[in-house]
A = this chain, B = another copy of it.
């Protein structure tokens, strides 16, 4: 069976790391057909919409999409794309690797970020000259859907992040719903205030396995964890919906190094491994992860990891290990 995957490199190093991940996917032996689509600043600069309807439609109809990064237009591209695949959870693993310097060696945490609401529901208004408002939305149904996914993902239990001491109604609903669903499923949970959790992740990340978060909390806590494991160059992510999914590195366009051929492709290759998992090619997914780990441990490495290899050297080394 041919697996059709939509590929949206986007801007900056997206143009370098997405083709690298495609090379790796092709080397797995799975029968892929890649359909490339455009999005990002470069489309907007040519007078188009940063997310053209055609790209949106392709993602909305594909089983799986691989996205790179977008520049200034990031929010205008990635938020509608997450919506187009109807993704309700953003899965963001943050772990360290042998061979990679990390502030917290031994960290291995997966964030399950609510992906549809919170402040991202985005109802804003300028009420007066002086006052603006944003309506943050938290629903029981979205919290339930996330919690059910979390119970499948982490039957061994998970932590629920929240700020319900201040956002009593909204984060209270989030926390209580997630905890209740877990209880019904016989899954253990503990809860943590997001501010305290930000500190505890810096001090004792080994105490955390899976963390279920409201949307913005997941955004911040996963980026902070990128800092603890050695930078954004290693963090993949998966936006999972009921019927489709979108995979993307957590990093952005890295304008400082874009076009030089030295971007670290690992975050995007690891996102491609999540795509393989999602399409039920679990062995191939494991092979890709093993290959990335081997390369991280033994080189070659790109400059962000202290090496002087190019993107293509790293990609080839991953492919050779498959």
Question: Which A residues lie at the B interface, using CB under 8 A?
Answer: 74-75, 79, 103-104, 119-120, 122, 124-126, 129-141, 163, 165-170, 173, 194-196, 198-203, 216, 219-221, 223-224, 226-228, 231-232
Contacts and interface: CB of A to CB of B under 8 A. Distances in A.
A199 B224 contact: yes
Nearest 5 Cβ contacts at the A-B interface: A202-B227, A124-B169, A198-B224, A199-B227, A195-B223
6 contacts: A132-B137, A132-B173, A194-B220, A198-B227, A199-B226, A200-B227
A259 to B, nearest CB: 21
A232 B169 CA distance: 28
Contact of A165 (B74, B104, B165, B220): B74
Nearest to A202: B227
A301 to B, nearest CB: 17
Contacts of A168: 124
A231 B163 CA distance: 20
Given A195-B223, A223-B196, A224-B224, A133 B170 contact: yes
A140 B127 CA distance: 11
Nearest to A75: B165
B167 A124 contact: yes
Contacts of A163: 119, 216, 219
Given A132-B170, A139-B130, A167-B124, A223 B198 contact: yes
Contacts of A122: 166-167
Contacts of A165: 74-75
A196 B253 CA distance: 13
Contacts of A169: 124-126, 132-134
B228 A202 contact: yes
A124 B130 CA distance: 21
A130 B138 CA distance: 8
A119 B224 contact: no
A232 B202 CA distance: 12
Contacts of A227: 198-203
Contacts of A104: 103
B199 A202 contact: no
A315 B282 CA distance: 59
A203 B75 CA distance: 24
A125 B137 CA distance: 10
Which among A74, A79, A125, A135 has the highest number of chain B CB atoms within 10 Å? A135
Given A119-B163, A163-B219, 16 more contacts: A75-B166, A103-B203, A119-B167, A120-B166, A122-B166, A124-B168, A124-B170, A131-B137, A134-B138, A196-B223, A198-B198, A198-B227, A199-B223, A202-B227, A203-B231, A224-B224
Given A75-B165, A199-B232, A140 B134 contact: no
A120 B136 CA distance: 12
Contacts of A167: 119, 122, 124, 134
Contact of A202 (B132, B139, B216, B224): B224
A264 B200 CA distance: 18
